[in-house]
Each structure stands twice: as C-alpha cells, then as structure tokens.
Amino acid sequence: MKYTAAVIGLGRMGSTFDDEIDQARGPGGDNRGPGLILPYCHGPSYYSSEKISLIAGADPDSGKREKFGKRWEIEDKNLFESHQELLEVVKPDILSVCTTAKIRSEIVIDAAGSGVKAIWAEKPISTTLKEADEMIEVCEQNDVVFAVNCARRWNPHYYQAKKMIDKGDFGKILQITGYGSAHASHNGSHLIDTMRFLGGGDVSWVFGEVENESLDGNKDFRANGYLAFTNGARGYLRSMDCGAGNWNIEVLGEKARFLSSGDTEVLEFEKVGEKISGDLTGNVKIPFPQPARFQGMGLSIIDDLIHGIETGSSPRCSGRDGLAALEIAIALRESHLSGNKKIMLPVKDRNLGIISYESEGGR
C-alpha cells in the first residue's frame, strides 16, 4: 500500500534544504555528513520513498508553489495557497508542516481534525506551552501520529548509541554533556532533545543562565544549563559559543562512555577495563558499531510514521518530546530571570513561550 503525503510550507525544510547540504559537500560526495543523511527534508524524502505518493503542497508564495510543483512533479490543481484548501480538497494520509512556528499550532490542530493519519512537523513544536498542549491533545483525541523533527533521533549513530544504552552496555547513566552553539528554541531544540533521548529519562528540574544581551522579551536566546533527570543522570548543556567543541555530545555511564564530535563526524566508544589502582581503571577503546547501510533520515522518519499508523506506536520524537524540549528551554530562561534558581518541571505557567529565532528571520 502507498500512502499519500502533502507539504505545508514549501521553502527550505519543505523542499530545498537538501540542496544546501549537497552544495556544501561538493562534487563526488555521498549522502552522509555530520548529523544528516540525505534525503532529509520533507519534499525530497516523500519523493524518494517507495511507500509514499507526494500529491500536494500549499504555500501563500506563488513562486514557491511553482518551484515545488515542477521539482516534485505535483499537478497545478494540487498546489494551494492555504492549508485549509489543501486539507479540504486533497485529504492526504500524512501531512508535513514546515511553516514558521508562529502558525504551526493552528495548522496541526486543523489537520488533526481533518482526517489525516500522521503529522510530521518541523521544530520547535510551537511558540508557547499552551499551544503545544493543545496540539498534543487534539492529535491524541483523533489518533493522529504526531512527530516533531528533532531529527537526531533518526540519525543511525545516535540511535545505535541509544540501543546500546537501553541494552545495558553503559550501566547506569551518570551524565550527558551537550555542546551546540544555537538559540535555545530554534536549533537548541535539537541539542536538548538529543540529550533527553540519550539520557533515558525525563528532566525534573533545571537551572540556567542566558546571554544577557540576547534576552529580550520572548525572543530566542542562547543559554547554558544544568539538567536533573528523573533516573538520576545529570546533564550539562552549553548553547552559547562552543568554540572548538561545537555539536559535541558525551554520554558517561558506569560501564562505558560515548562521545560524538562534530555531530557524529567523529565517534568514540570505550568501556571500563581492569582496575589499575584503587578506583582508577584503564578504559578499553572499542570501534563504535556502524550500521550496515545508511538510509536517508527522512526515509527513516517516514518509516516511523507509517509504523505508527499501522501499529499505534509513538514516533521516536513525538509531540510530547517536542513539548519537553521547548519546556526545558523556557525553564532555562525562567531560572536566569529568577537569579539562577532551580525551576521545577513541568512549568506551571502554560502561557510562557519563546518566539523561535527562525520566526524572527534567522536560520
């Protein structure tokens, strides 16, 4: 069976982002690179999937509609100015929402009540906690599979590390350290979510600091923070300037240690060896297991969505995971505003939010 898919928002993540990755790699490169494996963004992933028919798109920009239609072979009659028109006329099985976060909640809520089976939304999930709560509620009420594109969960290297953690190879997780220079809600959602994914538990409280010159109302910001996980692990997060350590993730367990440098460009794995003296041990470095094949991350997300449609399972990064990333970012700011006090989760004031950096014209 082939499922039908449509894309709302026909710009970078809806259609053209993979071109930027290709250009950065130059001629002769393969589909792999730090953090990403192509096809990655929504349009090319649907177009490449043998399980999907990409049938429609919507965007108020007529130029983007025209380019999207020609690029991905969509009939003019299935290119719409608004998401409401698309949902009424086409009725896809799977819908991608690649718009600015400012209008994402409205589209997801409308789509969940329209009969779609699954929604693949860009990050961050929304601009406020209340919006995210409503998005999750309506999707659950209508049995809609809801995935948020904090995409490192579908990177095969991070996923392999997660499987090893769940199998017990690391023993008890003690600490997760994440370095990723980014605004906390925008690309910081990737960093926070990756730490949650590998940490193996929810975050119960945080304290943090924010770059003072960037803290302006609800505008996005860079931050550093300390995260306390419900399973006893602790997290150290740096989204301010990371210098030579940008997009490095370290997981420290009782029995093993994993380090991804440059967003999986370099991988290290070592296990505790024999004791040398007292508590001092000599760790044994082991080649990190590589996947048998590198499937495009967008194709892995599609597989996950289809699995959710057919079995009722949650995707690797669900709406609730997207909400958690936003909530942690907000809590870091609220800690800063309180004089770096501990902020308990969940955040009580659901009207709190962040206007993502991309919504202010950033990338």
Kindly state whether residues 180 and 327 are assigned to the same domain: yes
Output the average pLDDT for the chain.
Answer: 94
Q: Name residues whose C-beta falls within 8 Å of residue 184's C-beta, 6 or more positions apart in sequence.
A: 192, 220, 221, 222, 223, 239, 329, 332, 333, 354
At 115, the pLDDT band (50, 70, 90 cuts) reads: very high
Kindly state whether residues 120 and 38 are assigned to the same domain: yes
At 281, the pLDDT band (50, 70, 90 cuts) reads: low
Q: What is the CATH number of the domain that holds 27?
A: 3.40.50.720
The answer as to whether 258 is a domain residue is yes
At 351, the pLDDT band (50, 70, 90 cuts) reads: very high
**What does the block give as tokens for 68?**
């999207």
What is the per-residue pLDDT for 291? 82
What is the per-residue pLDDT for 12? 96
Kindly state whether residues 312 and 211 are assigned to the same domain: no
Over range 261-271, report the average pLDDT. Answer: 96
> Domain total for the chain?
2
Residue 185: name the closest of 120, 302, 243, 102 by CA.
102
Cα distance from N-terminal residue to C-terminal residue, the chain: 37
In three-state form (DSSP H/G/I as H, E/B as E, the rest C), the secondary structure along the chain is: CCEEEEEECCCHHHHHHHHHHHHHHCCCCCCEECCEECCCCHHHHHHHCCCEEEEEEECCCHHHHHHHHHHHCCCHHHEECCHHHHHHHCCCCEEEECCCHHHHHHHHHHHHCCCCCEEEECCCCCCEHHHHHHHHHHHHHCCCEEEECCHHHHCHHHHHHHHHHHHCCCCCEEEEEEECCCCCCCCHHHHHHHHHHHHCCCEEEEEEEECHHHCCCCECCCEEEEEEECCCCEEEEECCCCHHHCCEEEEEECCEEEEEECCCCEEEEEECCCEEECCEECCEECCCCCCCCCCCHHHHHHHHHHHHHHHCCCCCCEHHHHHHHHHHHHHHHHHHHCCCCCEECCCCCCCCECECHHHHCCC
What is the per-residue pLDDT for 237? 98
Q: What is the CATH number of the domain that holds 261?
A: 3.30.360.10
The answer as to whether 352 is a domain residue is no
| CA separation for the pair 272, 185 (Å, rounded) | 36
Kindly state whether residues 43 and 71 are assigned to the same domain: yes
The model's pLDDT over 12-56, given as tens digits with 9 standing for 90+, comes to 999 999 999 877 665 556 676 678 899 999 999 999 999 999 999
| CA separation for the pair 56, 86 (Å, rounded) | 7
Over range 249-255, report the average pLDDT. Answer: 97
What is the per-residue pLDDT for 135? 98
At 277, the pLDDT band (50, 70, 90 cuts) reads: low
Kindly state whether residues 129 and 182 are assigned to the same domain: no
What is the per-residue pLDDT for 27? 56
Q: Which residue has the tokens 């490169």?
A: 29
Residue 107: name the closest of 58, 145, 47 by CA.
58
The answer as to whether 358 is a domain residue is no
User: What is the separation of C-alpha 68 from the centre of its chain, rounded to a whole number of angstroms?
Assistant: 24
Judged against a pLDDT cut of 80, whether residue 362 lies above it is answered with no
The answer as to whether 104 is a domain residue is yes
What is the per-residue pLDDT for 56? 98
Kindly state whether residues 192 and 243 are assigned to the same domain: yes
**What does the block give as tokens for 71?**
């690029």
Over range 235-240, report the average pLDDT. Answer: 98
Identify whether the C-beta of residue 209 lies closer than 8 Å to the C-beta of residue 343. Answer: no
> Which residues on adjacent β-strands are paired with residue 206?
227, 343
Percent of the chain with pLDDT over 90: 87
The answer as to whether 270 is a domain residue is yes
Over range 142-161, report the average pLDDT. Answer: 97
Over range 79-108, report the average pLDDT. Answer: 98
The model's pLDDT over 158-190, given as tens digits with 9 standing for 90+, comes to 999 999 999 999 999 999 999 999 999 999 999
What is the per-residue pLDDT for 79? 98
Kindly state whether residues 259 and 329 are assigned to the same domain: yes
| CA separation for the pair 31, 40 (Å, rounded) | 10
- Provide the residue range defining the domain that includes 179: 155-289+323-344
**What does the block give as tokens for 25?**
């790699």
Kindly state whether residues 19 and 147 are assigned to the same domain: yes
The answer as to whether 28 is a domain residue is yes
Kindly state whether residues 143 and 215 are assigned to the same domain: no
What is the per-residue pLDDT for 282? 76
Kindly state whether residues 332 and 266 are assigned to the same domain: yes
Over range 216-237, report the average pLDDT. Answer: 96
What is the per-residue pLDDT for 293? 82
Kindly state whether residues 110 and 201 are assigned to the same domain: no
What is the per-residue pLDDT for 29? 60
User: What is the separation of C-alpha 85 from the centre of its chain, rounded to a whole number of angstroms?
Assistant: 28
Judged against a pLDDT cut of 70, whether residue 330 lies above it is answered with yes
Kindly state whether residues 81 and 185 are assigned to the same domain: no
The answer as to whether 235 is a domain residue is yes
The answer as to whether 30 is a domain residue is yes
